[in-house]
Amino acid sequence: MTTHTAVLIPGDGIGPEVAQAARRILEAADAPVQFIERHAGVVALERGGDDVLPLDTVDAIREHGVALKGPCTTPIGKGFGSVNVALRKKLNLYAAVRPVRSLPGVKTRFEDVDLVIVRENTEGLYSGIENLITEGVVMSMKVATRNACSRIGEWTFDYAVRRNRSKVSVFHKANIMKMTDGMFIDEARQVHEKSYPQIKYEEVIIDAALMKIVQDPTQFDIILCENLYGDIVSDLCAGLVGGLGVTPGANIGDKDAVFEAVHGSAPDIAGQNLANPLALIMSAAMMLNYISESRKDDSARDAAKRIKSAYNLALNDGKRTRDLGGDLGTQEFTQAVIDRMNG
């Protein structure tokens, strides 16, 4: 069996706890992956480094092509810029993919949610280009390039075909941001018309789209958004299926891929064995499927299946962390999943 090397970045806050959980699950599932650990975030400074995103972390991902990453803290309104944004830009991880699915035993308002959010990961207001024009007047620049808009459109429709999905809905505000969001939908529409007429396609103004999602999420399938909208829509959709503790994600480029949960470092519960590790465990399963597809290794896909079936069994048996209304700690829930690995 080939063993693939992946970079494990524990990150900040609850990151080390959920990263440790994911590592234990992969071991229990006999996943064909060995981790090398690298650091990013506040922890990288605390360990004596001089950058929140050390070069050896970026280089390790470039060398091995895949990483599983815990969340990294970004200070609000001041301080250093986001490690996550920097990493996505440095490695050109232009497609953020966030599946949002109802889980067995996790009761929410809706029973059959099955959405995928694809977020353009390199541009928009997230570019973080802000200027002081004069005292009391500041400006933030929203960036859109035709190349990036067309690239994410192409990636999304290709993903729709690979995953047997039937519809792509683009959320936008091109009525107001006629140039930037206008270009985003123009490019998606052109990709659709030129190459993917078999996939249904629609453009929905984002404010009305959000109302529609909370009324009936089953009317959507794949949701394509520019960067900031994708960030906000992801958390809203997480709320449809049980919250941030159960929503995984991937940041994918042409060469490298970094898998991470949608949630942040959750400083309010860090270090207390309270975090739900499932979102990162699910992200690890996505990583195995990516390895399986990109390196033609069925054993990685089989390990992902074992993991998925084990956490579904655990949830079905009422094993849940506190965010899902249960009483298990991070480690106890992880053990409950491991106990069901070969069940």
Catalytic sites, residue numbers: 126, 173, 207, 231
Cα–Cα distance, 109 to 114 (Å, whole number): 14
- Conformational region of residue 216, where left means phi above 0, alpha means psi within -120 to 50, and beta covers everything else: beta
In the bound state, the residue with its beta carbon closest to ligand NAI is: 264
Smaller CB separation from ligand NAI, 196 or 311: 311
Cα–Cα distance, 196 to 12 (Å, whole number): 41
Cα–Cα distance, 296 to 271 (Å, whole number): 38
Smaller CB separation from ligand NAI, 73 or 156: 73
String marking each residue 52-81 x if it binds ligand NAI according to CB under 6 A: -------------------xxxx-------
| Strands 4-9, 33-37: pairing kind | parallel
CB 84 within 8 A of CB 72: yes
Stretch that binds ligand NAI, among 112-120, 145-153, 214-222, 262-270 (CB under 6 A): 262-270
* 20 binding ligand NAI? (CB under 6 A): no
Q: What size, in residues, is the chain?
A: 343
CB of 265 to ligand NAI, least distance (A): 4
Smaller CB separation from ligand NAI, 268 or 298: 268
Question: What residue type is assigned to position 177 of the chain?
Answer: M
CB of 162 to ligand NAI, least distance (A): 25
> What one-character-per-residue DSSP string does 250-270 give?
EEE-SS-EEEE-SS---TTTT
DSSP state of 122: S
Interacting positions 159-178 with ligand NAI (CB under 6 A) = none
Tokens of 199: 């996939």
Chosen residue from 120, 154, 187, 323 binding ligand NAI by CB under 6 A: 323
Chosen residue from 28, 170, 225, 244 binding ligand NAI by CB under 6 A: 244
Cα–Cα distance, 273 to 321 (Å, whole number): 10
User: Residues in the site for ligand NAI, rule: CB under 6 A?
Assistant: 14, 71-74, 84, 244-245, 260, 263-269, 275-276, 279, 323
